[in-house]
Amino acid sequence: MTLRALRASVGKIQGDVARKMSMTQPQLSRVETRRNHLISTVRKYVRALGGQIEVIAVVDGERVALQDV
């Protein structure tokens, strides 16, 4: 799911999320259309939606939750 689709699925508009992230709506639009994101940006975005992220690494078929990333 893209960031834009996630935002839409929780019924938020760009302006509201942008304000919570201390950025403008055009800046948020650019974040949503980027193809490569820093984990810190995704964390901030998801927090602005009221959620949290979990980072899972899959190595040799084993799923491991990464901490402090």
pLDDT digits (tens, 9 = 90+) for 11-35: 999 999 999 999 999 999 999 999 9
Q: Which option is the CATH number for 3-66: 3.40.50.620, 1.10.260.40, 1.10.10.10, 1.10.600.10? A: 1.10.260.40
Q: What is the pTM of this model?
A: 0.87
What are the φ/ψ torsions at residue 20 (nearest 5 degrees)? -65, -25
Predicted local distance difference test score (pLDDT) of residue 59: 97
Instruction: Flag whether pLDDT at 69 surpasses 90.
Output: no
Give, in order, the Cα–Cα distances in Å from 69 to each of 4, 13, 23, 42, 65: 23, 27, 23, 11, 10
Q: Answer whether 57's CB lies under 8 Å from 66's CB.
A: yes
Kindly report, residue by residue over 47-58, the tens digit of the pLDDT: 999 999 999 999
